Amino acid sequence: MSYDLIVIGTGPGGYVCAIKAAQLGLKVAVVEKNKTFGGTCLNIGCIPSKALLHASEMFEQANHNFEKLGIKTSKPKVDWKAMQAHKDSVINGNVSGIEYLFKKNKIEAHIGLGRVLAAGKVEVQAEDGSTTILETKNIVIATGSDVMPLPGIEIDEKTIVSSTGALELEKVPSRLLVVGAGVIGLELGSVYARLGSKVTVVEFMDKILGPMDADVSKQFQRMLKKQGLQFKLSSKVTGAVKKGKTLEVTVEPAAGEAAAETIETDVVLVAIGRRPYTSGLGLAEAGVALDDRGRVVTDAHYKTNVDGIYAIGDVIAGPMLAHKAEDEGVAVAEILAGQAGHVNYEVIPGVVYTAPEVASVGKTEEELKAAGIKYKAGKFPFSANGRAKAMLETDGFVKVLADAETDRVLGVHIVGFGAGEMIHEACVLMEFGGSSEDLGRTCHAHPTMSEAVKEAALATFAKPIHM
Ligand code: FAD
Ligand code: NAI
């Protein structure tokens, strides 16, 4: 069988690349080792975690906020099995959607482990061990990432879990210890805190959500503390021992081994990052270069050092985000079809889907300072926003950072209800090189949370009206 393009991996990078390439007239096949399409994102990542985040947030609202809005209900209860069933049906709906899209776009799907034999040749090994060799003009590697292990801690996906096990625990644990205050730790930590677990988060650095703007990180930590999450910053987990049904976890200061303490817990979630997944792909034999972190090295057009072999998504450098992988999938498909594919890495939003949400695009204040760029900052709190008051969602703020000389917006950071939706007006503005004055002079509907974005922009180049 011969194709214009074979994509290995059907996560958001791979499936989007395949669809776009087929839309542009290429003859496309995908190879996927899992039984379902959609990769980490649809099966064990973005989608199932958001299903649980939403369901647990609804429980939290019913439990604590309905009464403040004048709604009386009997005390809500968690039906964990039903919540899991909701999550599973959301996964199924999404993965079968990809199957439909492959058929619609005449993309041939081969289920099995893909291995690059050489440029133009991919071997697919089916579950029964049989192999097929496919021929193609181009190969795109989109094999994604896998859980980063923590030395000394063995993940069994039952009581010591990665995000994968944390999405399907048998029951809501009384105590959960999370290693890593990154996106996974805080999202899944929030889920279980809302459902009644006592959650302790151990983080190596002295702040949560490391790369986020420090202002946002501080405010967000305060909010999570109010929700019951406990934090041990500048600390590391060095061991976990099972004692009956309890796990004894050793926590040490990040700086040294002195004063280790033991924390008892029922479940440990290891969430210290992810690493590129290239196992079994045969890249060394095919001569494809990896960097010192195991990522496939590409040029600006996603081409590896071997002609005809490209790579995108979590398996290459850059933020490990589904939308970054998708955009790279589109770009490489366009390049292979003779067009000018491109991703603007300056404008890739990041969203943490907790309650409230955290959203960010562009540079943080710390990055601007480090780069010696002079900037103006404008901030507006949701406590001064009418819609936020009506919804009892007044926690948080919007911060706009603009170049001191040109007023071009360089970064926008939001912590608050709906931040993950609001951030996109900042993305569009930044794509067009817009200024804080452009944003502040754009008419925003009233009453909306987005008015806080406009007010923060006003605070950057002039003065906000409602503060
Ligand atoms: P993947 O989605 O990892 O897909 C790779 C695919 O390749 C897999 O299906 C795998 O089976 C297949 N594969 C690997 N090797 C082979 C082989 N040799 N042969 C055949 N097939 C192979 N990102 C966001 O932007 N928003 C979120 O809300 C978000 N939430 C997340 C929550 C969790 C719990 C996790 C773990 C991740 C989350 N992410 C989120 C990150 C997101 O899932 C990844 O960035 C994204 O899935 C990367 O896409 P990808 O296509 O590069 O790889
Ligand atoms: P992460 O990189 O976001 O956070 C890992 C955290 O663990 C860091 O704060 C790090 O300092 C800390 N850490 C590392 N080693 C440690 C140790 N030994 N002890 C204590 N703390 C330690 O990684 P995470 O949360 O595992 O997520 C993986 C990837 O998945 C991320 O790149 C993220 O982009 C993506 N993701 C995105 C989501 C979103 O966009 N909403 C949701 C979930 C995951």
The alpha carbon of 347 and the centre of ligand 2 are apart by a number of angstroms equal to 20
Residue 226 domain-assigned?
A: yes
Residue range 189-245, pLDDT digits in tens:
999 999 999 999 999 999 999 999 999 999 999 999 999 999 999 999 999 999 999
pLDDT at 173: 98
Gap from CA of 321 to ligand 1 centroid (Å): 8
Final residue in a domain of this structure, among 272, 287, 318? 272
Give me the CATH number covering residue 388.
3.30.390.30
Q: Give residue-wise pLDDT tens across range 177-190.
A: 999 999 999 999 99
- Do 140 and 279 share a structural domain? yes
406 phi/psi in degrees, rounded to 5: -95, -15
Token look-up 């804080």 returns 436
pLDDT category of residue 259 using cuts at 50, 70 and 90: confident
- If pLDDT is split at 50, 70 and 90, which confidence band does 465 have? very high
CA distances (Å), 386 to each of 148, 344, 437, 447, in order?
Answer: 44, 35, 22, 6
- Find the mean pLDDT for residues 390-408: 98
Cα(435)–Cα(408) distance, rounded to whole angstroms? 4
Can you tell me the distance from the alpha carbon of 456 to that of 448, in angstroms, rounded to the nearest whole number? 14
Q: Is residue 345 part of a domain?
A: no
Residues 265 and 171 in one domain: yes
pLDDT-based confidence at 252, cuts 50/70/90? very high
Q: How far is CA 341 from the centre of its chain?
A: 23
Alpha helices (H) along 105-213? 163-166, 183-194
Protein residue with least CA distance to atom 34, ligand 1 = 45
- Cβ < 6 Å from ligand 1: which residues? 8-14, 31-34, 39-41, 45-46, 49, 113-114, 142-145, 163, 184, 277, 280-281, 313-315, 320-323, 325, 353
Residue 22 falls within a domain, yes or no? yes
Asked if residue 265 lies in contact with residue 177, where contact means CB atoms within 8 angstroms, the answer is yes
Q: Residue 213: which domain range?
A: 160-272
- Residue 325 forms part of a structural domain: yes
User: Is 233 in the same domain as 290?
Assistant: no
Which helix (DSSP H) or strand (DSSP E) does residue 160 occupy? strand 160-161
From the CA of 310, how far away is ligand 1's center (Å)? 17
Is position 154 within any domain? no
For residue 7, is it within any domain? yes
14 and 128 both lie in a single domain? yes
Q: Mark whether 189 and 321 lie in a shared domain.
A: no
pLDDT computed for residue 256 by the predictor = 76
Q: What is the CA radius of gyration of the chain?
A: 23
Question: Does the residue 101 lie in any domain?
Answer: yes
Query: Nearest-CA neighbor of 318 among 288, 344, 286?
Result: 344
Give the mean model confidence (pLDDT) for residues 267-275: 98
- Cβ neighbours around 141 below 10 Å, total: 30
Catalytic residue among 64, 301, 446, 466: 446
User: How much is the pLDDT for 94?
Assistant: 98
22 and 128 assigned to the same domain:
yes
The verdict on 106 and 178 lying in the same domain is: no
CATH at 202 = 3.50.50.60
Which one of 272, 307, 328 terminates a domain?
272
Question: Are both 263 and 282 inside the same structural domain?
Answer: no
Evaluate if pTM is beyond 0.95.
yes
Kindly give the distance from the C-alpha atom of residue 183 to the centroid of ligand 2, in angstroms, as a whole number.
5
Do 136 and 281 sit in the same domain of this protein?
yes
Q: Which residues pair with 30 in a beta bridge?
A: 7, 109
Give mean pLDDT, residues 151-164: 96
Together in a domain, 15 and 112: yes
Ligand 1 atom closest to 163 (CA): 34
Confidence of residue 257 (pLDDT cuts 50, 70, 90): low
**Gap between the Cα atoms of 250 and 309, Å rounded:** 45
Number of domains present in the structure of the chain: 3
Per-residue confidence (pLDDT) for residue 308, from 0 to 100: 98
**DSSP states of 213-261:** -HHHHHHHHHHHHHTT-EEE-SEEEEEEEEETTEEEEEEEETT-SSS-E
| Structural element, H or E, at residue 335 | helix 322-336
In-domain check, residue 466 = no
Least confident of 64-68, 129-133, 254-258, 380-384: 254-258
Are 366 and 395 in a shared domain? yes
pLDDT digits (tens, 9 = 90+) for 400-425: 999 999 999 999 999 999 999 999 99
Q: What per-residue confidence (pLDDT) applies to 398?
A: 98
- Are 65 and 124 contained in the same domain? yes
pLDDT digits (tens, 9 = 90+) for 89-148: 999 999 999 999 999 999 999 999 999 999 999 999 999 999 999 999 999 999 999 999
Give, as one character, the DSSP assignment of residue 181.
-
Q: What is the pLDDT of residue 1?
A: 72
- Give the span between the Cα atoms of 172 and 330, in whole angstroms: 40
Beta-strand relationship, 246-253 and 261-265:
antiparallel
Atom number of ligand 2 nearest to Cα 185: 25
Q: Which atom of ligand 1 is nearest to the CA of 167?
A: 34
